[in-house]
Structures are given as structure tokens and as C-alpha cells.
Amino acid sequence: MISGQHSDICLWTKNNREVRSKMRKNRGMTLSISIVLLLICLTQQASAATLYLSVTASMSDLFTEVADRFEKHTPTTRIVINTGSSGSLARQIVHGAPVDIYISANQYWMDHLVSQGLVDPGRRKIIARNELVFVGKPGHPIPGFEALSDLDRLAIGVPESVPAGQYAKQALVKAGLYQSLKRSNALIYAKDVRQALLYADRGEVDGAFVYRTDLAIARNAKLLFTVPEGFHQHISYPAAIISGRATNQNVLDFYHYLSSEEVSDLLAHAGFLPVQ
């Protein structure tokens, strides 16, 4: 009886030692695998190039898709997108913001950066066009400019920094309405075109001047009329490489990618007009 118990204890001790040995080996193997995976991740992160884009607000949704497509083509590239009004983005670049490629909703702010020596004129191109429209509450038809003087609140982007607001001001001046609407405090200024659309969507204004492409994300606001192109400057979207960034091959590749058939299809699907 005692002898049997002793044999069982010895056998248990031997088995327990073997189990602990295997566990140490497994832990060692698991740790080794974890270290290898960590090193792989760190290597991939170190080798990944980050591309910084400053994109005008009216193209923010589109460029999320463009960036996703490009990253799939070039897995070692990570794209960071900053959006806002073309004017605010241009001022950020002037003040040293880290930007590789800038996309504006008008020529004015691109010309401003060229004059500052911040954009290489040889690395600049038009990628799309758009139309200016007036949107508002459904069931409240507004046939054109002649009916705007009867409205209490109209949203437009700040003309000094928002291209859509600049185009809207040009159109209102052409129609002979801008000064009277301004004097009556009927103009509600938005920080960018998407905020102007939001005001109209919420019913906080009687209507807003936005781009035709913005209608795709409107929840409540409806198209009331299209502004004749002769009432404002041509709406075009220039893209450019910031000075000194063209030495980066990823930046060049993305710049050329903007002229690809794939991006042209995405632009058309989003409602942007082709470059003439």
C-alpha cells in the first residue's frame, strides 16, 4: 500500500515536470511568434509612407473613396485627408501645415499659393468642374433669382474664404440683389459649403447656394433652381503638388492617379462634370 502510493507520487511528479517543461516551451514559442509579428508590424509601419492631402469640403466624401482605392493599389502608402473651405486650407499651407497635395474649389486660392511660391505651376491641373444651385424646402418652389428678395434667410459660404460663397456673391451681384439682401441681414454666412447645405437641410434658412454635387448628401433640401453659368466664374477644381514635395514618388504617383480612368469614373459617379 505504501509502496504503491510512492510509485504513484513519483509518476505524478515525473508527468508534472514534463507538463511544466512543455508549457515553458510553448510559452517560449508563443513569445517568439509574438516578437516576430511585432517586428513585422513595426517594419511595415516604418516602411509605410504617409501622404497628406488638403481637400476642399465639396470633395471630402469623394476623396475618402479615392484615398481608399489608392491605398489598395499601394499598400505601403497611408493617406491623411484634411478638409475645409479652400481659403482656410490655403491659409494653413501658408502657415506651414504639412501638405503634399492641395485640391481647391476655385482658381483664386490656387493662384494665391502660386504667388507665395508654395505651389509649382508645372504641377497643377484641373480635375473636375461643377455647377452652382439653389436648394431649399420641398414644396416651396422658387423659380429663380426674382423670388429671392421675398426670402428672409439665405445661406451662402463666406465669400472671402469659401469658393461656393464667392460664386454665390457673384451671381447675386449679377442679379442686382446682393446689397439689398446684405442690408436686410437676409444672408447667413457659412464656414464652408457643407455647412450652408446643413442649414438648408435643417430648415434653418429658406434656401442655400451649394454645388449640384452636394445634392447627393442632402437629406431634406431639394433643388429649386440652377444658377446660369454666366452669372459667375467657371467652377473648376485645380489640384497641385506643394513646392518641394514632388521629390516624393508616392506624391507623384497620387498626383498622376488623379487623372486616371478610375478617378474619372468616381468623379462622374459623384456628379462632377468632366474637364473641358
User: pLDDT tens across 234-275, in order?
Assistant: 999 999 999 999 999 999 999 999 999 999 999 999 999 999
Q: Comparing C-alpha atoms, which of 227, 214, 223 is closest to residue 271?
A: 214
Grid cell, residue 202, equals: 435643417
List, for residues 201-241, the tens digit of each pLDDT value: 999 999 999 999 999 999 999 999 999 989 999 999 999 99
Q: CA distances (Å), 121 to each of 110, 113, 246, 247, in order?
A: 9, 10, 12, 15
Quote the distance between the C-alpha of residue 69 and its chain's center.
14
Residue 231 pLDDT: 97
Instruction: Centre a 10 Å sphere on the Cβ of residue 117 and count the other Cβ atoms it contains.
Output: 8
Q: What percent of the chain has pLDDT over 70?
A: 83
Q: Is the pLDDT of residue 159 over 60?
A: yes
Instruction: Report the alpha-carbon angle 167-171-175, nearest 5.
Output: 170
The dihedral through the CA atoms of 26, 29, 33, 35 has a sign that is positive
HSE-up of 167 (CA within 13 Å, CB side)? 28
List, for residues 15-73, the tens digit of each pLDDT value: 555 544 554 555 555 444 444 444 444 344 444 699 999 999 999 999 999 999 999 99
